Chain A
C-alpha cells in the first residue's frame, strides 16, 4: 500500500506540490487527472523516488521510501516516464530483459527469460522482438517500454501518460492490458492521464489535481460528474452515459 503524507515540493520558492496527502488503494487502477501544470507527473515521480521532496513522507508497505533499499524497491514499484527518447540501439527483447535487472543483476536465469517472453507476448510484440527500437514506430516503442515494466513484475506500476504517441487501437490495447494486470495479477496501477474518457472507462479511482493540490478524490462514478469536472477544468463537460460508460462530451 502507498501512503502519501503532507508532501510538498518547491521549485524556486513556489510549491508545485502543496501539502498533498493521499492513500492509493491496492489492486486498483488509480488515475491522476487535472489540467497542465497541476503537478500530476511531479507527484508520480516523488512517489517513485525519482524526485526528492521538500517535506512530507511517502510510505510503501508501511516503510518510508527513503528507508527502502533502492534495489528492493525496484522489485516493489516500477515507473515509466513519458519522455523516452533513448538514443540507443537495443532490440525489443534486450530492452525488456533489463526489466529483470532488479532480480538478476544482469545474469538472467531461464525463469527471468520466461518473464521477458511473457511480457513481450502480453504487449503483442512477439513478431518484433528482435527488431531494434529505432526501427519501430513511437507506439511500438511505447509498448516495448511497458513490456519492460511488466517484466519487472512489481506490485505497484506507475505510468506517466502511457497513451502518449499512441493511436486509438493501441491506447485501448494498453488500457486493457492494465486492467488485466490488476484483475489477473493483482497489481496496483497508477497512471497520469489526460483523456478523461479513458480514465472514466478503465480506472477504479480518480484523483484530480490542480495547482499542486488534490481538489477531488473518489471512485470513478463520483468524479466523472459534470459539476465536478467543470470545477477542475474550468469548462463545461457534460456527461453522457453510453453503454454504461460515462463519457464527457467536451469537444464543442
Chain B
C-alpha cells in the first residue's frame, strides 16, 4: 500500500461523511444550498469531519509512539492507564473548580494523564516477567483501579452521568464551538513527525540510544508528554475511542515495519480512514439514528486485531 492510496481513500470517505445525515444534503446541492443546508454543513458536518480526522490521526499516532517507547506492541493509551488517568483528572477539575474552563480541565487532566502514564512506565521497568500479553493486562488492571476511583468520586458527587459520557467516544454532538480544542493535537503531531527518527532509536533501548549519542530519557519523556496531551485533548473534545491506538499501528507495522520516519504518515492516514469508515457505518446502520462510534470501533477493531495476531504468527514463520 502506498501513502497516496490512503490519501485517495481519505478524500472519498471525507466527501461521503459530509453528505450523510438527517438534513437532506447531496453533493449536487453544494452550489445552491438553502440556508438550512448551509448551516448543517458548516455547524455540524464540517466540524464533525475535522474532529474525526484529527482524532483518528491523533489516537493512532499516540498508540504508535507508546508502542515504540515501551517496546511492546500491545501498549496504547487505552492499555496503559493514560485514558483512565485523564478521566480522573477531568473529574478532579470539575470537583475542585465547579466552573472549570476547558483550558483548566485540560491542564489538570494532562497532569493526571502524564502522571498515570509515567507510573505505568515505572511499573513496566519493575516487572520481571516481560511477556508481551502480560504487560497490557497489567496496564488494563492499572487503568481499572484508577477508573474505580473516578467512579467512586463521581458517584458521591452525582457526576456519574458526566463520567459515563466520556467513557464512550461520540461524534454526534460535535458542533462548531465545542470541538476546536482538538486542533491542539495538530502541532503535537507535527512535532511527533519531526522526532520520528529519535523515537525509533529510543525504541531500540537505552543502551542503543546512548551508543548513538541520544538522550534516551529526554526522548521518552517528550514522547509521553505528546501521548498524554493528545489523549487528553481527544477525550475532552470527543471522548475515549478504544482500540484505535492499538489496531492501526499494528496493521501498519505489518506491511511497513517499525521505522517511524516511514510508518508514522501511514499510521496517521490509516487512523483517519479507519475512524471515518467506522463513523459512517455508525451513522447509516440504524439510520436516522446513530450507534456510538466507540462500539463500532471496538467491534471492528477487535476482530481485526485477532486476525492480525494470528496472521503475524504465520508471517514470522
Q: Which residues of A contact B (CB under 8 A)?
A: 48-50, 70-75, 78-81, 86-91, 94, 98-99, 101-102, 105-106, 132, 134-135, 152
For B200, what are the chain A residues with a Cβ–Cβ distance below 8 Å? 88, 90, 98
User: Which B residue's beta carbon lies closest to that of A87?
Assistant: B71
Q: Are B257 and A94 in contact (CB under 8 A)?
A: yes
Starting from the known contacts A50-B207, A102-B212, 4 additional A-B residue pairs (CB-CB under 8 Å) come to A87-B71, A91-B259, A99-B212, A101-B197
Of A72, A73, A88, A89, which is within 8 A of B204 by CB? A88
A–B Cβ pairs within 8 angstroms, 27 of them: A48-B211, A49-B210, A50-B210, A70-B214, A70-B215, A71-B213, A72-B213, A73-B213, A79-B207, A86-B208, A87-B71, A87-B73, A88-B203, A88-B204, A89-B257, A91-B257, A94-B257, A94-B259, A99-B212, A101-B197, A101-B212, A101-B214, A102-B213, A106-B198, A132-B257, A134-B316, A135-B316
Residues of chain B with a CB closer than 8 A to A105's CB = 197
Contact B204 A81 (CB under 8 A): no
Top 3 A-B residue pairs of the complex, sorted by shortest distance between their CB atoms: A74-B213, A106-B197, A71-B213
> Residue on A with the closest CB to B206?
A50
B211 touches A74 (CB 8 A): yes
Cα–Cα distance between A91 and B70 once the two chains are bound (Å): 20
For residue B37, CB closer than 8 A to chain A, the reply is: no
Q: Which residues of chain B are within 8 angstroms of A71 by Cβ–Cβ distance?
A: 213
Contact of A101 with B257 in the complex, beta carbons under 8 Å: no
Interface bin, chain B: 20 to 34
Complex Cα spacing A86 to B203, Å:
8
- Cα distance A90–B198 when bound, in Å? 14
Instruction: Assess whether A106 is in contact with B261, with CB atoms less than 8 Å apart.
Output: yes
Structural contact, B212 and A74, CB atoms closer than 8 A: yes
Tell me whether A90 and B71 are in contact (CB under 8 A). Answer: no
User: Does any Cβ of A come within 8 Å of B18's Cβ?
Assistant: no
Query: With contacts A89-B253, A98-B201, A134-B316 known, is A152 near B212, CB below 8 A?
Result: yes
| A50 B197 Cβ-Cβ under 8 A | no
Q: CA–CA, A153 to B132, complex, Å? A: 35
In whole Å, how far is A185's beta carbon from the nearest beta carbon of chain B?
A: 19
| Bound Cα distance from A94 to B203, whole angstroms | 14
A151 to B214, CA, bound (A): 17
| Contacting residues, chain B, for A86 (C-beta < 8 A) | 204-205, 208
Task: Tell me the smallest distance from the CB of B72 to a CB of chain A, in Å.
Answer: 8
Q: Would you call B258 an interface residue if the criterion is a C-beta within 8 Å of the partner chain's C-beta atoms?
A: yes
Bound form: Cα–Cα A81–B210 in Å: 12
Q: How far is the CA of A50 from the CA of B209 in the complex (A)?
A: 10
Other-chain contact of A81, B196, B207, B214, B257 (Cβ < 8 Å): B207
Alpha-carbon separation in the docked complex, A105 to B198 (Å): 8
Q: Which B residues are within 8 Å of any A CB, using their own CB?
A: 71-73, 132, 196-198, 200-201, 203-205, 207-208, 210-215, 253-254, 257-259, 261, 316
Specify which of A49, A89, A134 lies most central, judged by the most chain B CB atoms within 10 Å of its CB: A89
Residues of B contacting A102 in the complex (Cβ-Cβ under 8 angstroms): 212-213
Nearest Cβ in chain B — how far from A138, in angstroms?
14
Given A50-B207, A101-B197: A90 and B213 within 8 A (CB)? no
- Please give the distance in Å from A65's CB to the nearest CB on chain B: 11
| Cα distance A74–B215 in the bound complex, in angstroms | 12
- Assembled-state Cα–Cα distance A86/B202 (Å): 11
Q: Is A101 a contact of B258 with CB atoms below 8 Å?
A: no
Contact of A98 among B73, B207, B212, B215 (CB under 8 A): B212
Q: How far is the CB of A83 from chain B (nearest CB, A)?
A: 9
CA distance A49 to B132 in the complex (A): 30
Q: How far is the CA of A96 from the CA of B179 in the complex (A)?
A: 44
* A87-B130 Cα distance, complex, nearest whole Å: 12
What's the minimum C-beta distance from B250 to chain A, rounded to whole angstroms?
11
Residue from the set A48, A81, A88, A134 with the largest chain B CB neighbour count within 10 Å: A88
In the complex, A50 Cα to B206 Cα: how many Å? 9
Question: Closest residue of chain A to B215, judged by CB?
Answer: A70
Find the residue from B196, B211, B213, B316 having the highest chain A CB count within 10 A: B211
Least distance between A82 CB and chain B CB atoms (Å): 11
In the complex formed, the residue of B with least CB distance to A48 is B211
Cα A134 to Cα B198 with chains together (Å): 21
* Residues of chain A within 8 A of B196, CB atoms compared: 106
Which has the most chain A C-beta neighbours within 10 Å: B203, B213, B254? Answer: B213
A residues near B73, Cβ cutoff 8 Å: 87
Residues of A within 8 A of B71 (CB): 87-88
Q: Quick one: which of B132, B207, B258 contacts A90, CB cutoff 8 A? A: B258
Contacts of A70 in B (CB 8 A): 210, 213-215
Measured between C-beta atoms, what is the minimum distance from A183 to chain B in Å?
Answer: 24
Is B201 within 8 A of A101, CB to CB? yes
A72 partner residues in chain B, CB cutoff 8 A = 213
A187 CB, min distance to chain B CBs, angstroms: 16
Central interface residue in B72, B73, B196, B212, by most chain A CB within 10 Å: B212
Report Cα–Cα, A50/B258, bound state, in Å. Answer: 25
Min CB–CB distance A92 → chain B (angstroms): 11
Closest residue of A by beta carbon distance from B198: A106
CB distance from A150 to the nearest CB of B (A): 13
